[in-house]
Chains A and B, each alone.
Chain A
Amino acid sequence: DAMVIQNPRYQVTQFGKPVTLSCSQTLNHNVMYWYQQKSSQAPKLLFHYYDKDFNNEADTPDNFQSRRPNTSFCFLDIRSPGLGDAAMYLCATSDVDRDYEQYFGPGTRLTVT
């Protein structure tokens, strides 16, 4: 019954080697978010899609990109991962026509070697 699914749960990549994380949802929500979270800190919003409209946070590095090919799927691409990009990456969704609650996936733990 998983509603927000993230794959893989654990990802190991090499320094500078591009990596893609994926998120899918069965909720048909119009907004999808990507967060970065380090060491029990608060989740930090990287960007979000409102339907097909991409919204980047001002302090999100250019190294991070995203794609949303359809309502159900959203991808996070890290073009050249650095050691500082090792973190938990969380995907979330919301139906903003109804309320502002965000539904989170289980996260992908990214390790950079």
Chain B
Amino acid sequence: GESVGLHLPTLSVQEGDNSIINCAYSNSASDYFIWYKQESGKGPQFIIDIRSNMDKRQGQRVTVLLNKTVKHLSLQIAATQPGDSAVYFCAETHNDYKLSFGAGTTVTVRA
């Protein structure tokens, strides 16, 4: 079946370094992608989104890159901070209000 998945379940990053979290999707018709951050015991929090007519979008300290050719999505976090420790989920949809979530990457920031 078609699904969204992440390459690595865990990522350990030194504080101050940049983080890159990857996500692969299989539905070539997907046209909207979201990254969520979920801290322990909390609900997912929106980070950034991107539509399929773009290949890059920047927010505050975060950048999302979309490569439709290889169906790959990535989230880059600049100057990673301890507060960035969380589970990160990518999600996608194709003209539908139901999101398909990837499995999640747990990011741990080392002091």
Interface flag for B61 (CB, 8 Å): no
Which of A12-20, A37-45, A59-67, A72-80 is found at the contact surface with chain B?
A37-45
Taking a contact as CB atoms closer than 8 A, the residue among A41, A100, A105, A109 that contacts B99 in the complex is: A100
Q: How far is the CA of A113 from the CA of B96 in the complex (A)?
A: 38
B46 touches A43 (CB 8 A): no
Binds A, one of B68-76, B77-85, B102-110: B102-110
How close is A50's CB to chain B, nearest CB, in angstroms?
A: 8
Asked whether, in the complex, the Cβ of B89 is within 8 Å of the Cβ of A42, the reply is: yes
- CB pair A101–B44 under 8 Å, yes or no, is no
Q: Which residues of chain B are within 8 angstroms of A90 by Cβ–Cβ distance?
A: 43-44
B31's nearest neighbour on chain A, judged by CB, is A100
**Among A45, A94, A99, A104, contact of B45 (Cβ-Cβ < 8 Å):** A104
Contacting residues, chain A, for B93 (C-beta < 8 A): 100
Q: How far is the CA of A43 from the CA of B87 in the complex (A)?
A: 12
A40 touches B43 (CB 8 A): no
- Are the CB atoms of A48 and B98 closer together than 8 Å? yes
Known contacts being A40-B87, A100-B32, A103-B46, is A45 close to B103, with CB within 8 Å?
no
* B96 near A43: Cβ-Cβ < 8 Å: no
Contact mask for chain B residues 24-48; partner A; CB cutoff 8 A; 1 contact, 0 none = 0000000010101000011111100
- The interface residues of chain A lying within 8 Å CB-to-CB of B98 are 45, 48
B43 near A105: Cβ-Cβ < 8 Å = yes
Given A40-B106, A100-B93, do A107 and B43 touch, yes or no (CB 8 Å)? yes
Contact check, A100 vs B97: say whether CB atoms are below 8 A apart: yes
A105: B residues at CB distance < 8 A = 43
Q: Are A109 and B45 in contact (CB under 8 A)?
A: no
Interface positions of A (Cβ within 8 A of B) = 4, 6, 31, 40-43, 45, 48, 50, 90, 92, 94, 96, 99-107, 109
